[in-house]
């Protein structure tokens, strides 16, 4: 608390005071912790009448908005390994961001892909030549901010429309025609996309278009798509939030029931508008990742930070509570980016006095319930 | 909590014990119905109230990733239905796809106490157990899918029913299942190739299996294991006009499976409203020529006793179609002209083509929807034996479970049916015999088809679906006196009384009163643990370890749901399957 080492009980006491005296509490993060901690966070948000948001709002939020427009035709990683003969990355750099992904699922043989080098094509679409570009069979460099145009062009070509242009997004129309034809005749295709598609010009419209592209292709052959999620359990954060509250992120409990409004109850917007008067951050690092206006407001309000490590947010937080690391120092469940639930085993004991996020949150809830009585 | 309780003077409808509207006292002790309790027991006077066992719903999609996909892609279906928190209870949303807490509360206030999730991809079971932790107040069961799994195909291809049965036994134990679900056998697998199957002997890509060998093999394995609930079956060709004939062919194929125990039923055909569409005379198998298949199927049902069924009634208005039948969902999406929000979820090797989700609105003015609506009602009003049948909307496919009171009103009241026949497209009358049917379900018929029969069909009739000694004290008390209230003449009262019980008791605890939740309690999960002999058990461990390491993302040892997510919820029932030879 305020840079001094205190007992866990003292830290919980101060955290409870901050929460109890706040009028517009924001709970944020949750994507690098296990599901039980997330579920406790929703309970706390409901009790305090606050807002709860996870890191989705700054990464694949547009993916979810795109899915609200069009649905989502997803894929699974094991199926990709066994069946996919064409894998496309779009605005994603797995070589840097998901280093185990390609060696583990894409360059592995599967039941119906015996020789991944010969039987599976890997393509990359990006605006610059990234490290992944060197690993793939084909790299398509498109001009910046042209993703939506390129996707819609492919959709038009797949529907048999003749386009009176010579190039789109820096790619010759003849090449785009050939790409569309290959996508229609492949046996099983998977499109992986990253923040290059979600957070660039067009945002959720890019994703909407990509989903529609994949839906169109399913009239001819089999295709699925999958976002390359970042934090290890951000998929779990969406999942637990959705079953408990009905919505995946950006939820306000001020009226005693959950309401969903991205742009309004999303963390960056809440802070940049100066609306939140206290932050409880769990398993994320907003100070490192948020825009300046949001961080500036964070410096003005009390911050409680629960994290196993000392991060940028710790420097600014009034209360820092260290937590056990799920999958190492405590058990828990998480969700892989294709929706598969995984059990995380405990390997070693946490340092003395350090407990899991879920237990810290339960202590806060208990003491808040006492205060509110 | 009152340990002992007497419910006095209620008008009891308990068809399993032959009680039809008699004034009786019910004694409760430690969550069970007992012969008598001490004089000091708390007494509740239920004079002029209807008392039934808690409702049992063996087919309602309330758990799993498909629901989350539906909630995420269609937040608008819940936006206008908030469910506020109270001091004792959690909040949520209560629209077409209620959130977890609201799901439990809404069932409770409607008087339902047992609900089965009929489509669990076993590989995702851990998530389902976590979810159940947040669904209060119910007894829950899960039916894992086995119909498009490469492991099932391997055993069926080898004609190895022992191996198939052992795989089922292993899965039910390790992930906590109640029975076996089959969805479009072979078709969802073919969907991984962008294809489907339609005939019983169609080829399935890459494997030497057919819909016929898959459905009969699995039904046989269920019988050999002696599972209390027969194979739960969603047939091929769902949602195709004229499919009543292929559905009957499939049931004929399964008829050859020998029942192993006393129970003679070898298959449960689910949501018949979607499986039994007819066509007009000399018509083509398309939606233009669709006619009610209700009468044809009722005739088949009356003549063939090897199966049970449920309605899957469509109820008009917004719904959310979700099935493990990926190719059907895609065809529904195409039917909307590619406008609908179509989602597809492939699941490792268990459901490689994928489950599908499409929001759908059933319109009273649509000729096709009206015919589908009338077909299942015609069936329900034409069958003789109600004990092989239960009411459902295949929540949320035909409509949310909150529409059960409306469904009950159509069955109980000719007046209500006539009112609705005016609202819907004229094909409902022209292409069915509904206008000539005078039958009205009695309260006892409703008690059979919403409690007693479904409990029997699930094999849970010892403790569920009745009010005899030894039953769980799961009780619904309705606030009306049937001697003074003519429900058939006043269908609006049916909606009123069946939407909200006066009280609901779960395990002897009063969990709701007049639609308000009085106590939030944990659900319990009923599972079946078939015991295999050592030899077969060792063989299946060895073979599954090999197949899982080749095909799954989960390893053999990480596939089971860990005890810490189960033990506080699970009520396992061990059955003896040791006679199956390795």
**Span B548-567, pLDDT tens digits:** 999 998 999 999 999 999 99
Q: What is the pLDDT of residue B225?
A: 97
Residue B3 has pLDDT above 90, yes or no: no
Instruction: Note whether B354 contacts A78, CB cutoff 8 Å.
Output: no
State whether B553 and A78 contact (CB < 8 Å).
Answer: yes
Q: Is the pLDDT of residue B1 over 50?
A: no
Contact B342 A257 (CB under 8 A): no
The proportion of chain B whose per-residue pLDDT surpasses 90, expressed as a percent, equals 97
The structure tokens listed for A171 are 């790619």
User: Alpha-carbon distance A5 to A22, whole Å?
Assistant: 24
A76 to chain B, minimum CA–CA distance in Å? 6
Q: Which residue of A has its CA nearest to B191?
A: A222
Q: Which residues are registered as beta bridge partners of B181?
A: B145, B232
Decide: A69 and A44 in contact? Cβ < 8 Å. no
Give the mean pLDDT of B2-25: 94
In angstroms, what separates the C-alpha of A75 from chain B's closest C-alpha?
A: 6
Note the helical H segments in B256-352.
272-275, 294-303, 326-335
Gap from A4 CA to chain B (nearest CA, Å)? 36
Compute CA distances A83 → A121, A181, B146, whole Å.
12, 19, 20
- Phi and psi at residue B448, to the nearest 5°: -65, -50
Our CA-based measurement puts residue B348 at a distance from the nearest CA of chain A, in whole angstroms, of 5
Return the CA Rg of chain B.
Answer: 23
Euclidean distance between CA atoms B42 and B513, whole angstroms: 17
**B342: closest CA of chain A, how far (Å):** 5
Chain A residue with minimum CA distance to B557: A343
Rg (CA), chain A: 23
- Note whether A256 contacts B85, CB cutoff 8 Å: yes
Average pLDDT, integer, range B82-88: 95
In terms of DSSP bridges, do strands A86-90 and A188-193 run parallel, antiparallel, or are they unpaired? parallel
Residues on chain A touching B192 (C-beta within 8 angstroms): 79, 83, 188, 222
Q: Given an 8 Å threshold on Cβ–Cβ distance, is A187 in contact with B65?
A: no
Task: Give the nearest chain B residue to A79 (CA atoms).
Answer: B348
| pLDDT tens readout for residues A294-315 | 999 999 999 999 999 999 999 9
Token pair for B169:
């036994």
- Residues of B within 8 A of A333 (CB-CB) are 126-127, 130, 565
Question: Nearest CA of chain A to the CA of B245: how many Å?
Answer: 27
Cβ neighbours of B92 in A, within 8 Å = 244-246, 257-258
Chain B's closest residue to A77, CA to CA, is B348
Q: Count A/B contacts: CB-CB distance under 8 Å.
A: 185
Tokens of A132: 């992944």
Q: Which residue of A has its CA nearest to B92?
A: A245
Mean pLDDT, residues A319-343 taken together = 96
- The answer to whether the Cβ–Cβ distance between B65 and A75 falls below 8 Å is no
Contact A234, A56 (CB under 8 A): yes
pLDDT at B262: 82
Residue B22 has a pLDDT of 96
Q: Residues of B with CB below 8 A from A38's CB?
A: none
A316: closest CA of chain B, how far (Å) = 33
pLDDT digits 0-9 by tens, A233-270: 999 999 999 999 999 999 999 999 999 999 999 999 99
Question: Residue A125's beta-bridge partner residues?
Answer: A90, A140
Residues A32 and B72: their CA atoms lie apart, in Å, by: 21
Choose among A348, A100, A115: nearest CA to A232: A100
Contact B97 A240 (CB under 8 A): no
Instruction: Decide if B346 and A76 are in contact by the 8 Å CB cutoff.
Output: yes
Please say whether the beta carbons of B18 and B451 come within 8 A. no
- Chain A residue closest in CA terms to B560: A343
The pLDDT of residue B261:
82
Separation of alpha carbons A76 and B349, rounded Å = 10
Residue B39 has a pLDDT of 83
> Per-residue b/e over A196-215, b at no fewer than 16 CB within 10 Å?
bbbbbebbbbbbbbbbbbbb
Give B275's pLDDT tier (boundaries 50, 70, 90).
Answer: very high
Single pTM value for the model: 0.96
Residues of B in contact with A218 (CB under 8 A): 194, 330, 344
Q: Are A90 and A196 in contact (CB under 8 A)?
A: yes
Q: Is the pLDDT of residue B458 over 60?
A: yes
For residue A373, pLDDT beyond 90: no
Q: Pick the residue from chain A with its C-alpha nearest to B192.
A: A222
How far is B99 from chain A, CA to nearest CA, in Å?
5
Q: Is residue B168 pLDDT above 90, yes or no?
A: yes
Q: What are phi and psi of B297, to 5 degrees?
A: -75, -35
Q: Do A256 and B126 touch (CB under 8 A)?
A: no
pLDDT at residue B2 greater than cutoff 80: no
Three-class SS state of A324 = coil
Q: How far is CA A160 from CA A96, A153, A163, A220, B45, in A?
A: 37, 11, 9, 13, 73
**Bridge partners of A141?**
A126
| Predicted pLDDT of residue A6 | 96
Query: Which residue bears the tokens 């000091």?
Result: B40
CA distance A185 to A181: 6
Residues 6+ apart with CB under 8 A from B29: B3, B4, B5, B37, B41, B508
Report the residue of chain A nearest B78, measured CA to CA: A246
Instruction: Please state the rounded mean pLDDT for residues B440-448.
Output: 98
The model's pLDDT over A327-338, given as tens digits with 9 standing for 90+, comes to 999 999 999 999
Q: How far is the C-alpha of A361 from the C-alpha of A46, rounded, in Å?
A: 13
The closest CB to that of A46, out of B91, B131, B562, belongs to B91
Query: To probe the interface with A, which of B99, B326, B557 has the most A CB atoms within 10 Å?
Result: B99
Residues 6+ apart with CB under 8 A from A347: A327, A328, A329
How many CB atoms are closer than 10 A to CB A352?
A: 5
- Residue B124 has its nearest CB partner, among A218, A221, A340, at A340
8 Å CB contact of B123 and A340: yes
Q: B-chain residues within 8 Å CB-CB of A75?
A: 346
Q: Check CB contact under 8 Å for A111 and B565.
A: no
| Tokens 């002897």 -> residue | B508
Give chain B positions within 8 Å (CB) of A224.
344, 346, 354
Q: Mean pLDDT across chain B, nearest whole number?
A: 96
Residue A29 contacts residue A281 (beta carbons within 8 Å): yes
Per the prediction, chain A carries an average pLDDT of 96
**Per residue in B349-407, pLDDT tens?**
999 989 999 999 999 999 999 999 999 999 999 999 999 999 999 999 999 999 999 99
Average pLDDT for residues A159-188, to the nearest whole number?
Answer: 96
Is A258 in Cβ contact with B192 (below 8 Å)? no
Q: Do A246 and B98 touch (CB under 8 A)?
A: yes
pLDDT digits (tens, 9 = 90+) for B108-163: 999 999 999 999 999 999 999 999 999 999 999 999 999 999 999 999 999 999 99
Chain B interface mutation, best of A47, A83, A243, highest count of B Cβ atoms under 10 Å: A243
Nearest chain B residue (CA) to A68: B73
Give the closest residue to B227 by CA, choosing from B201, B203, B259, B204.
Answer: B259
Convert the pLDDT of each residue in A29-73 to its tens digit.
Answer: 999 999 999 999 999 999 999 999 999 999 999 999 999 999 999
Mean pLDDT to the nearest integer, B524-539: 98
């Amino acid at each position: 608390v305020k840079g001094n080492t205190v007992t866990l009980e003292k830290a919980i006491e101060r955290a409870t005071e901050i929460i109890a005296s706040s009028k517009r509490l924001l709970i944020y993060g949750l994507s690098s912790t296990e599901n039980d901690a997330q579920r406790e966070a929703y309970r706390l948000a409901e009790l305090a009448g606050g807002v709860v948001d996870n890191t989705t709002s700054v990464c694949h939020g547009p993916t979810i908005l795109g899915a609200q427009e069009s649905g989502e035709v997803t894929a699974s990683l094991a199926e990709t390994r066994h069946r996919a003969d064409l894998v496309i990355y779009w605005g994603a750099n797995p070589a840097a961001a998901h280093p185990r992904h390609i060696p583990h699922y894409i360059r592995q043989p599967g039941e119906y892909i015996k020789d991944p080098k010969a039987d599976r094509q890997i393509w990359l679409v990006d605006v610059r030549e990234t490290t992944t570009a060197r690993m793939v069979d084909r790299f398509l460099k498109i001009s910046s901010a042209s993703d939506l145009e390129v996707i819609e062009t492919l959709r038009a070509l797949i529907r048999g429309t003749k386009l009176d242009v010579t190039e789109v997004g820096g790619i010759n129309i003849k090449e785009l025609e050939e790409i569309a034809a290959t996508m229609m005749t492949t046996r099983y295709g998977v499109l992986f996309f990253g923040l290059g598609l979600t957070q660039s010009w067009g945002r959720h419209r890019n994703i909407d278009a990509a989903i529609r592209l994949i839906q169109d292709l399913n009239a001819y052959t089999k295709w699925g798509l999958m976002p390359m999620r970042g934090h290890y359990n951000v998929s779990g954060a969406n999942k637990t939030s959705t079953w408990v509250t009905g919505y995946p992120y950006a939820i306000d409990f001020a009226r005693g029931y959950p309401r969903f409004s991205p742009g309004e109850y999303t963390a960056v917007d809440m802070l940049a508008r100066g609306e939140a008067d206290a932050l409880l951050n769990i398993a994320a690092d907003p100070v490192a990742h948020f825009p300046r206006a949001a961080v500036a407001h964070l410096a003005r309000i009390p911050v409680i930070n629960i994290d196993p490590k000392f991060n940028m947010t710790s420097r600014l937080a009034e209360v820092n509570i260290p937590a056990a690391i799920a999958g190492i120092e405590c058990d828990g469940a998480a969700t892989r980016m294709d929706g598969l639930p995984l059990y995380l085993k405990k390997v070693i004991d946490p340092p003395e006095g350090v407990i899991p996020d879920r237990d810290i949150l339960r202590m806060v809830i208990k003491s808040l319930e006492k205060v509110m009585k | 909590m009152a340990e002992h309780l007497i419910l006095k003077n209620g008008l009891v409808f308990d068809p399993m014990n032959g009680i039809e509207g008699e004034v009786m006292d019910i004694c409760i002790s430690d969550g069970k119905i007992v012969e008598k309790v001490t004089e000091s027991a708390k007494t509740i006077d239920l004079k002029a109230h209807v008392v039934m066992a808690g409702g049992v719903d063996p087919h309602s999609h309330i758990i799993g990733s498909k629901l989350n996909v539906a909630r995420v892609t269609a937040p608008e279906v819940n936006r206008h239905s908030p469910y506020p928190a109270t001091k004792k209870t959690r909040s949520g949303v209560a629209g077409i796809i209620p959130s977890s807490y609201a799901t439990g509360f809404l069932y409770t206030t409607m008087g339902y106490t047992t609900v089965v999730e009929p489509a669990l991809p076993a590989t995702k079971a851990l998530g389902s157990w976590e979810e159940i932790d947040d669904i209060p107040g119910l007894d829950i069961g899960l039916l894992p899918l086995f119909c498009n799994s490469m492991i099932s195909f391997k055993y069926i291809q080898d004609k190895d029913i022992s191996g198939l049965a052992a795989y089922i036994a292993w899965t039910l134990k390790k992930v906590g299942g109640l029975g076996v679900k089959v969805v479009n056998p072979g078709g969802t697998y073919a969907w991984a190739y962008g294809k489907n199957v339609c005939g019983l002997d169609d080829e399935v890509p890459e494997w030497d299996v057919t819909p016929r060998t898959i459905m009969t093999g699995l039904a046989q394995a269920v019988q050999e294991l002696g599972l209390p609930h027969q194979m739960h079956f969603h047939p091929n060709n769902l949602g195709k006009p004229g499919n009543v004939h292929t559905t009957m062919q499939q049931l004929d194929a399964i008829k050859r499976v020998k029942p192993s125990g006393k129970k003679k039923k070898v298959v449960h055909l689910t949501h018949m409203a979607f499986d039994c569409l007819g066509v007009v005379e000399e018509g083509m198998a398309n939606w233009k020529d669709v006619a009610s298949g209700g009468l044809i199927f009722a005739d088949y049902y009356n003549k063939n006793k090897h199966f049970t069924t449920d309605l899957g009634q469509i109820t008009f208005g917004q719904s959310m179609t979700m099935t493990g039948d990926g190719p059907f969902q895609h065809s529904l999406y195409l039917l909307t002209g590619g406008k609908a929000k179509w989602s597809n979820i492939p699941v490792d090797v268990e459901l490689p083509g994928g489950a599908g989700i499409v929001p759908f609105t059933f319109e009273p003015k649509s000729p096709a929807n009206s015919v589908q609506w009338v077909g299942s009602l015609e069936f329900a009003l034409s069958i003789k034996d109600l004990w092989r049948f239960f009411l459902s909307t295949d929540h949320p496919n035909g409509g949310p479970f909150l529409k059960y009171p409306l469904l009950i009103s159509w069955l109980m009241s000719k007046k209500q049916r006539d009112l609705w026949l005016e609202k819907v497209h004229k094909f409902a009358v022209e292409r069915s015999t509904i206008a000539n049917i005078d039958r009205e379900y009695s309260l006892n018929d409703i008690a059979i088809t919403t409690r007693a029969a479904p409990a029997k069909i699930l094999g849970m009739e010892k403790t569920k679906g009745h009010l005899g000694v030894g039953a769980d004290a799961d009780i619904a008390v309705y606030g009306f006196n049937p001697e003074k209230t003519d429900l058939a003449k006043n269908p609006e009262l049916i909606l009123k009384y069946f939407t909200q019980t006066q009280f609901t008791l779960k395990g002897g605890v009063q969990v709701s009163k007049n639609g308000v939740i009085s106590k939030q309690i944990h659900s319990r999960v009923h599972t079946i643990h078939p015991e295999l002999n050592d030899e077969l058990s060792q063989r299946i461990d060895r073979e599954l370890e090999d197949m899982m390491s080749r095909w799954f993302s989960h390893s053999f040892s990480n596939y089971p749901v860990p005890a810490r997510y189960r033990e506080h919820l699970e009520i396992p029932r061990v059955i003896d399957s040791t006679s199956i030879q390795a």
